[in-house]
């Protein structure tokens, strides 16, 4: 026969009802729910082993709870105080840190640091390392920043985006579709000492210091439906340079073709002189991307490819940089293919996601 516990548990009607509500709770801590169920089962006279089996806890735990219920009553449901040093920085310190970090910037820095927060809370006697631990607990990261662009309202956003995407998917009859833009401030730099090439067991090594040899802006036009790119060196990014490039496109294109230009809203593209020139050449049809949506212009993909190509390059002069850009473009055109088209349904999803 099972040995009966010497600690009897008795509850009055009000206590039983309170324990039943706690035992059925979906929001109370699990440890309190288990203790409430154990208290009810003990009052019904169930053996300790049976209670432990039903609740999935150790028999020694149920014995300890029985003893507490017998001596302390309902108070036994609460957690016992744990050993160790008491908490030094309570909720008021956490709130002070949150208030400090989410308030104005510090007077002598552009962002809050652990040391700056600790100094501003000097009255609490908290260290910078402790500030870091509390910030980690709060998931508060004053050292990080996420940027965003407040895009001005463009009532024709969807109309312009759909127009550009339609040109990507379907070329109009007797026409050519060109994606045009400028890339400015490409730096011509060379290392102060020669780069050491890679060899077995050792990666390429290059000098940290470099010399500047100026910058080189370029303008480029991508044939959307065949892939080749025309790149031209320009000295300044203005409407005069843009119009010279348009004249070059005009001379290089069959006069019977309509030239559809996909442009962003850069100053050289919307200048009065540019609009006057385009009005005098009606076979140029301009399609502007929505404001702050130059990502919709395919020439940006080529510029990204060019940037990766030039990233580890060394250029002894501005002209050397231009020559290498032209050389890369000619090699690119030899194997040029149009960028992979996105299915119309996916294109619509893309536009919704970008708005």
What size, in residues, is the chain?
355
pLDDT on residue 76: 86
Together in a domain, 31 and 122: no
Helix (H, G, I), strand (E, B) or coil at 269: helix
Residues 245 and 341 in one domain: yes
Question: Between β-strands 284-288 and 258-263, what pairing exists: parallel, antiparallel or unpaired?
Answer: parallel
**Is residue 191 a contact partner of residue 206, using CB atoms and an 8 Å limit?**
yes
Running along the chain, 355 residues long, what does each successive block of 10 average in pLDDT?
Answer: 66 90 89 90 89 92 90 86 76 91 84 92 91 92 84 81 93 96 94 91 91 95 96 94 96 95 96 97 96 91 94 93 95 92 51 39
Shared domain check, 223 and 163: yes
Which pLDDT belongs to residue 181?
97
Residue 272 falls inside a structural domain: yes
With 0.75 as the threshold, say if the pTM is over it.
no
With contact defined as beta carbons under 8 Å apart, do 167 and 292 qualify? no
Same domain, 168 and 121: no
224 and 307 belong to one structural domain: yes
pLDDT of residue 151: 66
> For residue 186, which phi and psi values (nearest 5 degrees)?
-80, 120
- 145-179: burial string, b at 16+ Cβ within 10 Å, e else: eeeeeeeeebeebeebbebbbebbeeeeeebbbbb
Note whether 141 and 164 are same-domain residues: no
Nearest-angstrom CA–CA distance, 112 and 101? 7
The pLDDT assigned to 147 comes to 84
Q: Is residue 192 part of a domain?
A: yes
From 147, 182, 200, the end of a domain falls on: 147
pLDDT digits (tens, 9 = 90+) for 28-37: 888 889 999 9
Per the structure, the complete domain to which residue 31 belongs is given by 13-77
Q: Are residue 166 and residue 254 in the same domain, yes or no?
A: yes
Is 115 found in the same domain as 190?
no
Per-residue confidence (pLDDT) for residue 88, from 0 to 100? 76
Q: Is residue 205 part of a domain?
A: yes
Q: Give how many domains the chain has, as a whole number.
A: 3
Mark whether 141 and 166 lie in a shared domain: no
């Amino acid at each position: 026969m099972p040995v009966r516990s010497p600690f009897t548990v008795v509850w009055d009607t009000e206590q039983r009802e309170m324990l039943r509500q706690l035992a059925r709770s979906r929001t109370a801590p699990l440890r309190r729910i288990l203790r409430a169920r154990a208290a009810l089962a003990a009052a019904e006279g169930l053996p300790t082993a049976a209670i432990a089996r039903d609740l999935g806890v150790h028999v020694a735990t149920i014995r300890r709870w029985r003893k507490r219920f017998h001596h302390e009553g309902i108070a036994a449901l609460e957690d016992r105080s744990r050993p160790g040093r008491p908490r030094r920085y309570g909720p008021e310190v956490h709130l002070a840190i949150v208030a400090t970090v989410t308030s104005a910037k510090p007077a002598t820095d552009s962002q809050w640091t652990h040391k700056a927060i600790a100094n501003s809370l000097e009255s609490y006697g908290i260290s910078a390392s402790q500030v870091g631990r509390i910030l980690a607990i709060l998931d508060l990261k004053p050292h990080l920043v996420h940027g965003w662009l407040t895009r001005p309202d463009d009532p024709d956003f969807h109309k312009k985006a759909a127009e550009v995407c339609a040109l990507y998917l379907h070329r109009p009859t007797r026409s050519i579709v060109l994606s045009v833009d400028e890339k400015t401030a490409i730096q011509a730099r060379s290392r102060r000492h020669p780069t050491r090439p890679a060899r077995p067991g050792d990666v390429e090594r290059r000098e940290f210091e470099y010399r500047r040899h100026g910058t080189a802006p370029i303008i480029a036009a991508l044939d959307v439906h065949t892939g080749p790119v025309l790149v031209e060196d320009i000295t300044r990014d203005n409407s005069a340079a843009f119009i010279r490039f348009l004249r070059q496109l005009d001379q290089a294109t069959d006069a019977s073709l309509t030239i559809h230009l996909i442009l962003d809203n850069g100053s050289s593209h919307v200048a009065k002189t540019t609009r006057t020139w385009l009005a005098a050449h009606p076979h140029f049809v301009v399609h502007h991307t929505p404001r702050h949506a130059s990502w919709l212009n395919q020439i940006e993909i080529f510029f990204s490819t060019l940037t990766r190509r030039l990233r580890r390059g060394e250029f002894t002069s501005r002209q050397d940089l231009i020559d290498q850009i032209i050389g890369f473009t000619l090699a690119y055109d030899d194997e040029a293919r149009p960028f992979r088209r996105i299915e119309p349904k996916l294109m619509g999803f893309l536009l919704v996601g970008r708005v």
